[in-house]
Structures are given as structure tokens and as C-alpha cells.
Amino acid sequence: MGSEIVINANPFETRVALLENRHVAEISVDRAKDRGITGNIYKGRVVRVLPGMQAAFVDVDQDRAAFLHVSDIVLDMSEYAEMIGGNDQDNDGNGVELITASGHAIEDLLKEGQEILVQVTKEPIGTKGARVTAYVTLPGRLLVLMPTLVKVGVSRRIQDSEERERLRKIVQSLQPKGVGFIVRTAAEGAPEEAIKQDMDFLVKLWGSLKKRKPRARAPSLLYAELDLIYRVLRDLSSSDISAIHIDSKDEYKKLLDFTKKFMPQLRNTVRLHEENEPIFDHFGVELELNRALGRKIWLKSGGYIVIDQTEALTAIDVNTGRFVGKKNLEETIVKTNLEAVQEVVYQLRLRNIGGLIIIDFIDMERFANRKRVFSVFEEALKKDRTKTTILQISELGLVEMTRKRIRDNLSSVMTEPCPYCEGKGTIKSMRTIVYEIFRQVRREAPILEGKRVVIVAHPKLADLLYEEESDYLEKLEKQIKKKIVVKTEYNMHQEQYQIMGL
């Protein structure tokens, strides 16, 4: 069975799930009020140049300035010839030479206040602004247009050498001067006419962007990436999709028009979900979505994995849990690790975890077993469309890997830090707070006006003060020679309290 796409579309939120063999593989969430900006093209303005980091911050009309590294700068000689030096003719003689910033210092390439065309490659994450590049690309259904790189590439997922050569020759024969293309996986088996249509569309789109650029103010948005539904369809190989289920009549009609125009082979796979049961419940997605927000995930054997995410990295710990095995400890450990491998890869895709990832497998004594677990891990990662880099499993059972991070992970989109612990995972104990109150009362009593000291605190703190700590409360009254009154406030944080004179 091929892949299925399940779409839950609402005016306020769109959720798209990718099912592989009826199992949820990936979930994407797009909310109207905080829609992502990856892929958007902006006319930006340089607000700060940092020679020490060889980077610049660019205003792209967002809350935080975007980060641009010198390696992501490409300059048009016709615009910057005086700044860098050189001629205005490229090797093909078409009047524009595009050069990279390689070998140049960023302070020689960019100045504060300078306008520059950039594209977002990574969403703002945490306290960091978006990551942008001057290597603009425009993705289509079959091709990706590269206005700054005059070359033709073919997706590595197309493995047949004859097909790769056929596609390369078609694109090279149609390729306009001054631009390059990447042939996408979806182009495998596509006729020349379809490739030409996609190319013409992208070239016209780029032409319209170039015309709008001089007239647009900086900073401003020149091109917005497709909505989530159409982006998912564009990025998946159509040959893998057996059905597209959607629960919105309006979006269903739009989807039919979209597939008819751009993906006719998928038009008959679009199905409107009209049952009373919510579409995500019907396909079991809602259950997996809730499971993806948990910290501990149980394995079928009785073992479990724990996922802890921080801004810097994600740590995944594997434990045997209730699984005791049948023969010996080493066999039990290997079975748990092998089962954990599949779950780890599944969770990486489901939660869209990116950046640096450390996986702590249970220690295995035999090298052959470590190698076996690593091989299974490598094989499982081949299903992941996101680029990953993985290092060999260490003697301590640790695997270090990176997974390309383009947008916020599922947890960042759907959760927020606990208002009590502020993301730490713990808060001060009640007794700790009570003793803090005692010290604060002794410190402030001499300077407080009135004959009484009033403590305003959470009801649980008040109970502890009046019950288990009542003896010391009486002693404290004698020490400060003032009456202590405790008042409760249900809306107060458990760690908060207020001391005043009355």
C-alpha cells in the first residue's frame, strides 16, 4: 500500500498527516496566526554587520532580524562591480556574472542600510531569528529554479542512471541562459512537455519577482511559499501517493482544481471525508499526535525511551523498563536497542526533531552487537526525507547525529513552557518556600509598618504554615514581636508570596 495524506483543514489551523502503510509517519501543523516563513523571499535591509562572526543581520519585516552568513551571500556583479571589482560579462556573455562571497570578508560585501534579496531557509526558533540565504531558489512540481547558480542537478533519489541522464539532457536543452535547475524526484518518468511547462512557469515567476524588486520597499515580502497542503503535495513523489483524504468541502474543491492543473495523475485520489467521526480520529492520527507530545514512549516489549528536548540538542535515552528477557542480559539489551531504533526514527520524523541529537542506547559488551544496532539504525533512517548525518555508535552506547532543522518541531508548535516551572521541569518544594518566607519575615519585620505582618500565599503554602510549621510560626511571632496573619490567594503561583505590614 502506498502513502496516504490526511488533511484536517479549518480556517484557524491546517493539519496534514502522512500515512505509510496506514501508520502515521509525519505530522505538520500550520496555524493562520503564526504561519511559517520558510521559503519566503524578501527584499531585506542589512541592519548590522558582524566581522567577528562573518555574518550580518537582515531586517525582513519580522519580529527579529534574520541571520545571514558570509557563505550564503551571492553578489550580482552588475550591481556591485564598484564594490568588489571585475567586469560585467559572464562566461556565456549574457551580461550578468554571479559570484559567491567565498574569499571575501563580509564587511567588504555588505554595509548597514544596504538592500539585499534573501530567502528564508530556517524558521525563527526559540530566541533566534530566521536563517536566510542570498542563494534564492523557486521550487516547482518537477524542478527547482536556481537564479544564482547556472548548473543542472538531478535528485539523488532518482537512482536509475539512464533516467538521470535523460532528465539532465532534457533540462539542459530547454535551460534559459543565466539560471540553473535541480530536477526533483517527482520528475522521474515525466515527459519533456511536462518538464517544459514547469520550467516556463518558474522562469515567469522569477521574471515577475525581478520586476517587483526595484519598486518594492525594504523590508518587504516578494514571494510567499505555498500553503501547507499544496507544499506537502509538491514535495512528495506523486507515485507514492495512493489517496488524499480531506474534510473541508472548500479546500476539497481547491485541491481538485490544483491537482487537475498541476498533478493530473493525483486527481482521482482526492477524497472528501464526510463521516461524522473527525478525520484525524478516523485514521488514528489524533492518538499518535497526543503520544508525540509525551516525554516517555513505551516499547511493545516493555522497554521505553525518554525524549528530552532543549534549545541546543535533543537527548534520547533507551531503557529496558519492564522487559527482563529470556536468556541472558546481553540478548535482552540488544533486543531492547533494536526495538528502540525503530521507535527513535519514527519519533524523529513524527515530532520533526532537528539539530544535534544524542541517543543513549543501553551499553552492549560485544562489538558485533553494537555494529548490528547501528546498521539497523542506518537502514531505518533511509525512510526519512530530511537530511541526516550519523556517527558510529561509541563504546558507551552513544550515537551522535544531526537532522536538518528547517522549522520548529511539533512540541514547539503545540506546547508552551509550564508557567510554574518555566520549562525547567521542576519547581521549588512547598517546604523550601515556607522556609524562604520565614527568613524574609525576619528580614523585613523591623521595617514594616503596623503591628501585624501579613503573608499572602497560595492555599497549599498557607496550610503548611498553619499545620506542620505552626510551632515555628509562634516562635517567629515572639522574635519579631508582631502578630503574623496568613491570607490565601488561589490565583498565586505556588512559588510566589507577598509580605506586608498592617
Q: What is the CATH number of the domain that holds 234?
A: 3.30.420.60
pLDDT value at 165 more than 80: yes
User: Quick check: is 424 in a domain?
Assistant: no
Closest CA to 23 of 345, 440, 320: 345
**Of 264, 287, 310, which closes a domain?**
287
Residues 213 and 79 in one domain: yes
Counting residues of the chain whose pLDDT is more than 90, the rounded percentage is: 45
pLDDT value at 406 more than 80: no
190 CB-near residues (< 8 Å, 6+ apart): 142, 167
User: Quick check: is 88 in a domain?
Assistant: yes
- Alpha-carbon gap, residue 193 to 148, rounded angstroms: 25
Between 330 and 311, where is the model more confident? Answer: 330
User: Quick check: is 165 in a domain?
Assistant: yes
pLDDT digits (tens, 9 = 90+) for 350-398: 999 989 999 999 988 888 999 999 999 999 998 887 888 999 988 778 9
User: Quick check: is 238 in a domain?
Assistant: yes
Residues 68 and 112 in one domain: yes
pLDDT digits (tens, 9 = 90+) for 267-312: 899 999 999 999 999 999 998 888 888 889 999 888 999 999 887 8
For CA atoms 459, 462, 466, 467, give the dihedral sign: positive
Least confident of 22-26, 82-86, 327-331, 456-460: 82-86
User: Quick check: is 420 in a domain?
Assistant: no
User: Quick check: is 370 in a domain?
Assistant: yes
Number of independent structural domains in the chain: 4
For CA atoms 442, 446, 447, 453, give the dihedral sign: positive
SS3 179: coil
Residues 440 and 479 in one domain: yes
Q: Are strands 180-183 and 143-146 parallel, antiparallel or unpaired?
A: antiparallel
Predicted pLDDT at 75: 57
Residues 399 and 483 in one domain: no
Closest CA to 333 of 375, 295, 366: 366
- Is the bond preceding residue 147 a cis peptide, omega within 30 degrees? no
**Of 179, 194, 223, which closes a domain?**
223
Instruction: Domain of residue 473: give its range.
Output: 430-501
Predicted pLDDT at 485: 92
Cβ(356)–Cβ(400) under 8 Å?
yes
**Of 236, 269, 287, which closes a domain?**
287
| Averaged pLDDT of the chain | 85
Residues 273 and 137 in one domain: no
Predicted pLDDT at 80: 32
Residues 329 and 312 in one domain: yes
Residues 370 and 409 in one domain: yes
Counting residues of the chain whose pLDDT is more than 70, the rounded percentage is: 92
Query: In CATH, what number is assigned to the domain containing residue 166?
Result: 2.40.50.140
- Alpha-carbon gap, residue 369 to 337, rounded angstroms: 10
480 CB-near residues (< 8 Å, 6+ apart): 441, 442, 445, 446, 453
Residues 211 and 91 in one domain: yes
User: Quick check: is 444 in a domain?
Assistant: yes
- Alpha-carbon gap, residue 257 to 249, rounded angstroms: 13
Identify the residue whose cell numbers are 535528485: 155
Predicted pLDDT at 405: 77
Cβ(381)–Cβ(372) under 8 Å?
no
User: Quick check: is 419 in a domain?
Assistant: no
pLDDT digits (tens, 9 = 90+) for 109-129: 899 999 999 999 988 877 788
Residues 210 and 279 in one domain: no
Predicted pLDDT at 90: 36
Q: What is the DSSP string of 118-132?
A: EEEEE--BTTB--EE
